[in-house]
Amino acid sequence: MTTIADINDTIPTHLLLIGQTKSGKTKFTAEAAKAGATILFLDADHGYATLKRSLSDNVDAAKRVHYLKLHKPLAFMQELIRKETLYYVPRYGTLYSNSLQLNDNDDIIRLATTKIPKEVIMVIDSWTGIAMDTIEQVANELSVNALTAKGNAMRPVYANAGRITTNILKALQYAPWNVIVLAHPELYEQRKRPKGRGVVREEDMEIVRTVHIPLSVSKPHGYTIGKFFTDIGVLSVDRLGKSVLSYKRDSEIIAGGTLDIKGNAEEELSYVNTFGITPVNKESNSWIKTMKISEYKELRKKGEL
pLDDT (tens digit per residue) in 159-177: 999 999 999 999 999 999 9
d(CA 243, CA 265): 5
Q: What is the pLDDT of residue 9?
A: 61
Radius of gyration of the chain (CA): 21
d(CA 156, CA 218): 11
Provide the whole-model pTM.
0.91
Overall size of the chain counted in residues: 305
Greater pLDDT, 199 or 108? 108
Judge contact between 178 and 119, C-beta under 8 A: yes
Q: What is the pLDDT of residue 232?
A: 94
Greater pLDDT, 203 or 277? 277
Q: What is the pLDDT of residue 287?
A: 94
Greater pLDDT, 259 or 41? 41
Q: CA triplet 41, 231, 56: central angle to 5 degrees?
A: 30
Q: How confident is the model at residue 197 (pLDDT cuts 50, 70, 90)?
A: low
d(CA 7, CA 200): 53
The answer, yes or no, to whether residue 283 has pLDDT greater than 90, is no
* Pairing of β 288-292 and β 107-112: antiparallel
Least confident segment among 62-66, 194-198, 220-224: 194-198
At 291-302, the pLDDT tens digits run 999 999 998 888
Q: What is the pLDDT of residue 22?
A: 85
Q: What are phi and psi of 208, to 5 degrees?
A: -105, -20
Task: Give the Å distances, CA to CA, from 70 to 42, 79, 248.
Answer: 7, 12, 32
At 26-37, the pLDDT tens digits run 999 999 999 999
d(CA 43, CA 198): 46
The answer, yes or no, to whether residue 79 has pLDDT greater than 80, is yes
- Can you tell me the mean pLDDT for 124-136? 96
The answer, yes or no, to whether residue 11 has pLDDT greater than 90, is no
At 201-249, the pLDDT tens digits run 666 666 667 889 999 999 999 999 999 999 999 999 888 888 999 998 8
Q: What is the pLDDT of residue 205?
A: 67
- Can you tell me the mean pLDDT for 51-67? 95
Query: Domains in the chain and their CATH numbers?
Result: 12-184+264-301 (3.40.50)
